Structure 1
Amino acid sequence: MRFKDYYQILGIAEDADLKQIKKAYKKLAIKLHPDVNPVDDGGEKFKEIAQAYKVLKDPKLRAEYDELRKHGGARSHDEFNTASNRQNASSSYSSTVDDGDFSDFFNSIFGEQSVNNARSHSSHRSRAEQFSQKGQDAEIDISISLEETLSKTEKTIQFGIPSIENGKIKQINKTLKVNIPFGVLDNSRIRLKGQGGPGIAQGANGDLYLNIKLKPHPLFDVQAYDLILTIPVSPWEAAIGADVTIPTLNGKVKVNIKPNSQTGQKLRLKGKGLKGKSITGDLIGVLKIVIPSETTESDKILWQKFKSSSTFDPRKNWSN
């Protein structure tokens, strides 16, 4: 068998590291793959680069091959193949592409391997069928407001996805109008079947996954389907009680602050939170007593009168 210079076949230097070997192989595999290079009848060039990659990526096989190459290929490829089989049967190179290695590589570029992969096909199937691959899946983040979760929302999205044409990878830009169902939560994932990258050799298209991100709200925090709202109240409202108006996601409502309320006390409004298909959250108001940032002279006189007449000691429990 004619001696083959695997370094020359992959177009790499003799001291190329594993990263450079893989990079060269990937570039040539895309260019010479039978599905995109019908001129290479029978895929002989593709087999050749696959053989080179199989040997040079394995340290033991590479060392033995380098020894063979150093002596000008004095030992035949058949001898080398036999020796390397004895040394590591699972790493031996052959005249056909290793299915696992092939599928791992193309899966990393174009998406999940088709269920009918090359290993399970008979020799009577076409080469295109043998290397059928599902297209690459795509993922994009979509930000929506809390208000938008209360009903179905239509969004226009744009994204790019790689595709192979004439042996070269190119970017396909897509624009879609998608419906976001009501009740989605932060980090929800929506699958749009077949909206990802195109399949290879009649393989199915990949899928598009939408990752939902809820926009931060200036007033509300979120706990599952519940909304948390801090309600500022004045000292006198907390002391004698008051009716105050608070915001919700779909309008304003009045709530009653009971006399002698304290900072941190909670009140719950049923059904005023986020909505899901089978659950509706609540709005939980957390009271926070707030004093004026500025005090007038008349205010000081009133506060002084209150201090003089009140027996309340906020540090009573410290007396012991």
Structure 2
Amino acid sequence: MSNDPYKILGVSTTATQDEIKKAYRKLAKSLHPDLHPGDTEKQAQFQAVSAAHDLLRDPEKRRRFDAGEIDASGQERAQRQYYHQYAGQDAGGRYDGGAGGFGGGQRHGYSQGFGGFGTGGEEDLSDLFSDLFGRRPRGGGGQQGFAARGRDQRYNLEIGFLEAARGTKRGVTMPDGKSIEITIPPGTADGQTLRLRGKGSPGIGQGPAGDALVSIAVSPHPVFTREGDDIVMELPITFDEAVLGAKVEVPTISGPLSMTVPKGASSGQRMRLKGKGITRGKTAGDQVVRLKIVLPKAIDDDMRALAERWRAASDFDPRAELRRTT
């Protein structure tokens, strides 16, 4: 499989962020390890797709990749990293840009400057490169092993709207095939990243493990939408409930409750249920209810006669204000 993230996701280099997200979701759903237990090829493809999306979804990482500053795994390109870190150092670790620097003739300067790599020559330089680029160091001679923090593992998880609002626990398979349980706190937002300390790749030598970074995608709900910590919904009411007022049942993210519709309510009127929105810690948003008067599809004779009598007797004009201001 290509290591080009654009080719992995099947998008062009000029693709928009929405096109990248759409391509990723399509591939991730078809390749997820939970759907292909034991299939190492599908698992590898899923890992590649997740890594490609993780790089391209971040505008700064995408810019740096396009500019050749980082590779497809998000790491500094090896030659650039080595040059910036070690080019021009003499045996004492100073930058002189001279013969003891990168590409100079004094190879023994590396072994003396970094310690523990031997007494000089080609073999010492190869040991240095091995340690720099993560290969396992050789033991012996009291040499301390190279230690580095493990890489972070990234995962993209789609959850339901109510799961995000109420909080939940989900068992997921990470890109490396490891299964972990994730606690999703109440009020988790779409696009939020959860960091699981020490759940990433193991460290090198005595280095600590990396973290698992789980990016949350919240699927839309047919009734509720979220605005900050408020939950917004549209509530249908009948003609008589709007005119006479009524007590009606209203769904909320924590279960149904009763609400009073005032007499003479209009479509678009907003009512607020305090504390019935997203709860995070000790604070909670509200639920905003927009009223919408809905008439039956079939108007019977009684309703028609009532409307005709009201029209004949009333001079009410709901569009008068529009004419005055336009």
Higher strand share: 1
Superposition CA RMSD, Å: 4.0
Alignment gaps of 5+ in structure 1: 1-18, 30-49, 59-84, 110-117, 119-123, 162-172
Q: 1:214 maps to which residue?
A: 218
**Partner Cα separation in structure 1 for residue 143 and residue 200 of structure 2:** 25
Match of 1:153 among 161, 168, 171: 168
Q: 2:262 maps to which residue?
A: 258
- The one-letter code of the counterpart of 2:195 is R
Match of 1:181 among 175, 178, 185: 185
Match of 1:126 among 118, 126, 143: 143
TM-score by length of 2: 0.54
- The one-letter code of the counterpart of 2:304 is K
TM-score by length of 1: 0.55
Residue identity (%)? 29
**Partner Cα separation in structure 1 for residue 179 and residue 287 of structure 2:** 37
Per-residue deviation, 1:232: 1.6
Per-residue deviation, 1:135: 1.1
Structure 1 residues 1-320: aligned runs within 5 Å: 92=103, 95=107, 96=110, 106=133, 126=143, 128-129=145-146, 132-149=147-164, 153-161=168-176, 173-317=177-321
Higher radius of gyration, 1 or 2: 1
Per-residue deviation, 1:305: 2.3
- The one-letter code of the counterpart of 2:305 is I
- The one-letter code of the counterpart of 2:152 is D
Per-residue deviation, 1:215: 2.5
Per-residue deviation, 1:280: 1.4
- Residue 239 of structure 1 contacts residue 261 of structure 1 at CA under 8 Å; is this kept in 2? yes
- The one-letter code of the counterpart of 2:172 is I
Q: 1:318 to 1:214 in 2, by over 3 A?
A: closer
Per-residue deviation, 1:285: 0.7
**Partner Cα separation in structure 2 for residue 106 and residue 138 of structure 1:** 19
- The one-letter code of the counterpart of 1:128 is G
How many residues are paired up?
216
Per-residue deviation, 1:127: 6.6
Alignment gaps of 5+ in structure 2: 1-67, 88-96, 115-127
- Residue 228 of structure 1 contacts residue 284 of structure 1 at CA under 8 Å; is this kept in 2? yes
- The one-letter code of the counterpart of 1:243 is K
User: Which structure ranks higher in relative contact order (CA pairs < 8 Å, sequence separation ≥ 6)?
Assistant: 1
- Residue 149 of structure 1 contacts residue 274 of structure 1 at CA under 8 Å; is this kept in 2? no
- The one-letter code of the counterpart of 2:143 is S
- Residue 266 of structure 2 contacts residue 292 of structure 2 at CA under 8 Å; is this kept in 1? yes
- Residue 194 of structure 1 contacts residue 205 of structure 1 at CA under 8 Å; is this kept in 2? yes
Per-residue deviation, 1:287: 1.4
Give SS of 2:174's match: strand
